[in-house]
Amino acid sequence: KHAIEVGVVIGDNHGHLVKGLTGFERAAFSPRIIEAFVVREALSWLKSWHLGHAIIMLDCMSVVHALTQPIVDDSEFGCLISDCLVLCSLFQHYLFVGFIWLI
């Protein structure tokens, strides 16, 4: 199992913190599966707030690539990406951005 830390931060268009969530889990999934799952959950959460716009910042570039240049497949990862894209279609505008943590 992998030790993973999950963090979700939601801010408004002025850069103010609206809500945050963190957690630490042990999981038998790959980091990209976990990241795609978290994105799906975050999009679902955002949609329940009836928001029209979303910018999702990720630190897993393979997930960013899959979301911005999707190739449909029936793998677990592909299904999670498809779910994310269906949720994205409910927003007026969305953007996926990759970033690197500097510590």
Q: Give how far the C-alpha of residue 23 lies from the chain's centroid of Cα atoms, to the nearest Å.
A: 15
* pLDDT at site 96: 87
* pLDDT at site 79: 94
Residue 100's pLDDT band (cuts 50, 70, 90): confident
Is the pTM value of this prediction over 0.95? no
Structural domain spans, the chain: 30-98
Q: Is the CATH code 3.40.50.300 the one for domain 30-98?
A: no
Tell me the per-residue pLDDT of 25-82, one tens digit each, with 9 for 90 and over.
Answer: 777 778 888 889 889 988 888 888 888 888 888 888 899 999 998 787 889 999 999 9
Residue 1's pLDDT band (cuts 50, 70, 90): low
